Amino acid sequence: MRNRKRMKKHGAALSKVILLLIWVWSLVFSTPPSPAMAMNSNLQGYLPVSGAWSGDAAGGLKGVSDANANAFNMATVTAGTYFVFEADVKVESATPYAAGSLVFRSSADGSKGYVLSLDPNLDRLRLFDYATDTTIGVPYQTTIDPGSFYRLKITADGPKIQVDLNDAPAISVNDFTYSQGSIGFHVYNGTAYFQNMHVYEVPMNVSGWTALSGSWTPTSQGWQATAGSGQNAYAVSSASSDDFTYEADLLVKDTYAVGTLLFRSDASAEQGYAVQVDPNMDRLRLFKLNGDSTIATYNVTIDPGKVYHIRVKAEGPRIRVYFQSSFVDPTNGYDPVMTVNDTSFSSGHVGLNVYNGTVLFQNIIISDLSSNLDGWTALNGTWTPRLDGIKAVSGNGADAYRISSGTASDFILEADLKVDSGTPYGTAGLLFRGNSTGTAGYVVNIDPNLDQVRLFNANGGATMASAPRLIDPGKVYHLEVVANGSSIKVYVDGRSAPDISVTDTAYTNGRTGLNAYNGTAYFQNVYVTDLKDYSNEMYRPQYHYTQEFGKASDPERAGVLQRRVSPVPSG
């Protein structure tokens, strides 16, 4: 029968001890396969979590699950913002009611993450969230024969997920639930085979890419772009900002090819700035895209086939370009090689360009929010990366939210907040124990107009508590929320006593997010720590020093905020 109900849940997650024992056993499996276990794959290391897994000379990786049960085999590879994951998948003809799946952006045991399932029983290709068994997008219906291999290809670009079946588009969705995680394989209710498994990830935090021209291909060495003789290849991201750092590793493969970083560009790469790496001319060139107008040059030996790191820091009219040619010397690339002031373009997209050959790009990074939260969804307003974290602009008298996908119950939430000096009637706030739309939960904000810190219910906006506090627009304030059962305490800038302390039972669990109201706000260093993990020393001290996240590695970030030295919360 084709209408049977399937169970997609497996039992409780294996304990760490059991996982460790399985990992030790799996070392035998993760060694280079023998001829009898030959597989075409660039994945190294496998961790069988459940079911039976082996190498098959004809079929590749073979997975077997019990009836109505799940089998997971997780690779030691993880993938994040931009990658391609492809494999040939076959359900054994002797088990036509089975399904074979690719797992990605998953937890290490497969219990949370995306699953792309090839299902011959239901003649469909289905993408779903394993943790909730929620279908993502529309399943692709087509005839799928047990005993035949099908080529599955997943291309992930931030929240955009594109699935191809046998090189033809099948599913295309945008989903923010998971932003990074492990790669793996899954079998349900029978036997399936996996062959020609490859993952090509380009490390980056920039997403929403549009290839305007040329050939752009993820490879094991990076994102490879090729332009024909005398031609250009352009790719522009949806990431847009005004003040930021933008950087990438770059390798020019051809002597007469040129690799370029675009910034403050328009969506068509016709206007904006660009930094060009030219091995033929042995120079870096900063120029304007419109008119190809040179702003500054820096002469330096550039060898084809060698990796260089380019970094641009744009802050108002001031543009600084850094060039790193050695990854051994810690001082190499520390000082800018070009510094100019130009007011032609104040904001825009970041992108990449190749001229007259092939160039590889890796580690494409734009300055962004430092946080241990992910799966962000923006609701209303505009949210853009900046030098000082993330910038939110909300309309007049309107709320803008950016909400993460994870939930928390009892925790400590920390963040640095600032209201723009140009919008003194705006506020900056944090949502906690909220829902996915910002219509439920608690919000604490700083309000320079009223000079107060305020805690209120997101459902209706009723004030629960407030405290007088001088709030200057343009100044950064550090907020710390301690949520422990019905107790909620809010500290500002390291005060030993809470500015706000209330007892409330309206919300016990929910999502964490950012909130801007009636203006422009900035957020940085947003971290949530489970209360039970906040201080777990064997001999717990009387005072707990809050970690200063992300400050030590960047010598340009001066003025480290003082953190509160507070008694460890009980419970």
Count H helices and E strands in the chain, helices first: 1, 45
pLDDT score recorded for residue 535: 62
Rounded to whole angstroms, the Cα distance separating 377 from 179 reads 11
CA distance linking residue 37 with residue 35, whole number of Å:
5
pTM of the model: 0.82
Q: What pLDDT, on a 0 to 100 scale, did the predictor assign at position 536?
A: 53
Q: Report the alpha-carbon angle 447-526-104, nearest 5.
A: 140
The rounded distance, in Å, linking the Cα atoms of 84 and 198 is 8
- From the list 247, 518, 510, 271, the residue with the least C-alpha distance to 368 is 247
| Residue 123 a catalytic site member | no
Q: Looking up tokens 């770059």, which residue turns up?
A: 250
What is the C-alpha separation between 215 and 253, in angstroms, rounded?
Answer: 15
Other residues' Cβ atoms within 10 Å of the Cβ of residue 195: 20
User: Residues 142, 92: contact at Cβ < 8 Å?
Assistant: no
pLDDT at residue 181 in the model = 94
Read off φ and ψ for residue 30, nearest 5 degrees.
-85, -5
Element (H, E) at 19: helix 16-30
pLDDT reported for residue 447? 97
Please provide the DSSP assignment of 46-113 as one string: EEE-SSEEEEETTTEEEEE--TT-EEEEEEEEEE-SEEEEEEEEEE-TT-TT-EEEEEEEE-TTSSSS
Catalytic option among 66, 133, 329, 554: 554
* SS (HEC) of 250-318: EEECCCCCEEEEEEEECCCCCCCEEEEEECCCCEEEEEECCCCEEEEEEECCCCCCCEEEEEEEEECCE
To the nearest 5 percent, what fractions of the chain are helix, strand and coil? Answer: 5, 50, 45
DSSP 405: E
Q: pLDDT tens per residue, the chain (571 residues)?
A: 233 333 333 333 333 333 333 333 333 333 333 333 357 888 878 899 999 999 877 778 999 999 999 999 999 989 999 999 999 999 999 999 999 999 999 999 999 999 999 999 999 999 999 999 999 999 999 999 999 999 999 999 999 999 999 999 999 999 999 999 999 999 999 999 999 999 999 999 999 999 999 999 999 899 999 999 999 999 999 999 999 999 999 999 999 999 999 999 999 999 999 999 999 999 999 999 999 999 999 999 999 999 999 999 999 999 999 999 988 888 889 999 999 999 999 999 999 999 999 999 999 999 999 999 988 999 999 999 999 899 999 988 899 999 998 899 999 999 999 999 999 999 999 999 999 999 999 999 999 999 999 999 999 999 999 999 999 999 999 999 999 999 999 999 987 899 999 999 999 999 999 999 999 999 999 999 999 887 654 443 333 333 444 333 333 433 333 333 333 333 3
Please report the pLDDT score of residue 433 as a whole number. Answer: 98
